[in-house]
Amino acid sequence: MTHRERIETAWDHREPDRVSIEFSISARDREDPRCERLVRLADEYADNFAGVAGYDWGFLGHPARRTERVLEDTGEYERIEWTMHTPVGEFVGIIRRPRFETGIEDYHWEKRYIEVPADLERILSVPLEPRAPLKDAFERGMAAIGDSVPVTGLLHPLGALVRSSQMENTYAWFHSEPDLMHRYLRVTNDYVIGAVHAMFEEGIGPNFISYAHEMLIPPWMGHTLFDEFVFPYDSEVYAAIHSHGGRFRAHCHGSCMGFLERFAEMGIDSVEPLEPPPYADCDLAEAKRLVGDRMLLSGNVASQAFVFMEPEEVEALVREAIEAAAAGGGYTLRLTGGGGGRGSERTSEQGDRNIRCAEAYFEAALKYGWY
């Protein structure tokens, strides 16, 4: 089977020749001599979803241009001001970005763009204007991804708002400003649905993804708020995708176990990365029993622990995941975070351990993953 055929067979809840092995290699890792064997394994055996452009979502739906200014540079970290320039004015955020010996970039938000209800009112003060789908960019992306399964990023209005805001304030607005929140969601949701139809008309699709639901489950939101502010709006978007024969995949870290059935009911077709305890609460065998006939399940191999693990421990994780979820298709192996190549290393020793464990991930998948 080709890489794409293998994933699509599993997504159709049929058994391919072997379990798909999701794994992405960064350009940074390709240049590292320590990753030479890992690159070969990934190039030969990895079966991946790959992002392709489809629409410019701007800033919460408005066209936007971001500029940045260094406010402070201590040698150990930089404080950087990011300004979003939009038709409804400027929105300013500040990040603090440390410097690690390995050169990896990470940062902490000191100030986010949306701080008070008036900022959200500004977003709503000018209608969202539809833009032309990025057909040329989509076609270039399709040509570049080879045999991977294409997925196009979709704006999730509530997830994008939470990530753009002082988060504790936004969660409080569900209680103090419910009408404003519903008005924002109605306007932006209709905008997304219109964009979905426009993309399909241009031949963009059929698979879409968003990175939002991890912010819309515990400890952030419970079932009552989810059922009011997430379920009805998301269901409309996924129905629009399904009306064209498309599918939707959700990236959702965290404790999602109690929401998997709700995800399936509102139309999510695939979910990843399904983190196991102690990092979250996904019991993969139980997830397979609950929703394995309705969603493609991906993940459950806890790569955030690779910096502490030995290859034989990784082999055990992979074997257990395959035994729990592979039967009948509907499952792809996937790391749950920070394990590909050097991962999120902070030291060279951590990078070396990550590489050994990532190699063991492939070796175990090829040992236990054949149907």
For the cut 70, the answer to whether the pLDDT of residue 55 exceeds it is yes
For the cut 80, the answer to whether the pLDDT of residue 158 exceeds it is yes
Q: Tell me the average pLDDT across 5-18.
A: 98
> What are the φ and ψ backbone dihedral angles of 161, each rounded to 5 degrees?
-65, -45
pLDDT at position 351: 85
For the cut 90, the answer to whether the pLDDT of residue 130 exceeds it is yes
Q: Tell me the average pLDDT across 331-345.
A: 80
Please tell me the distance from the alpha carbon of residue 46 to that of residue 30, in angstroms, as a whole number.
15
Q: Is 49 left (phi over 0), alpha (psi -120 to 50) or beta?
A: beta
Q: Tell me the average pLDDT across 263-269.
A: 98
DSSP assignment of 166-216 equals -HHHHHHHHHH-HHHHHHHHHHHHHHHHHHHHHHHHTT--SEEEEE-GGGS
Per the listing, tokens 């870290």 go with 253
CATH among 3.30.420.40, 3.20.20.210, 3.40.50.10380, 3.40.190.10 for 3-61+128-368: 3.20.20.210
Average pLDDT score, the chain: 95
pTM of the model: 0.95
> What are the φ and ψ backbone dihedral angles of 86, each rounded to 5 degrees?
-135, 170
Cα angle 205, 211, 213 (rounded to 5 degrees) comes to 115
Per the listing, tokens 């008309």 go with 201
pLDDT at position 338: 66
For the cut 90, the answer to whether the pLDDT of residue 103 exceeds it is no
Q: Report the DSSP beta bridge partners of residue 77.
A: 98
- With bands split at pLDDT 50, 70 and 90, how would you rate the model's confidence at 104? low
Domain ranges, ordered by start, for the chain? 3-61+128-368, 63-113
Please tell me the distance from the alpha carbon of residue 261 to that of residue 121, in angstroms, as a whole number.
34
For the cut 80, the answer to whether the pLDDT of residue 144 exceeds it is yes
pLDDT at position 107: 87
Q: pLDDT tens digit string along 208-218?
A: 999 999 999 99
Contacts of 110 (CB under 8 A, 6+ apart): 79, 94, 95, 96
Q: pLDDT tens digit string along 277-336?
A: 999 999 999 999 999 999 999 999 999 989 889 999 999 999 999 999 999 999 999 999
Q: Half-sphere exposure of 269 toward its Cβ, with a 13 Å CA cutoff?
A: 20
pLDDT at position 347: 77
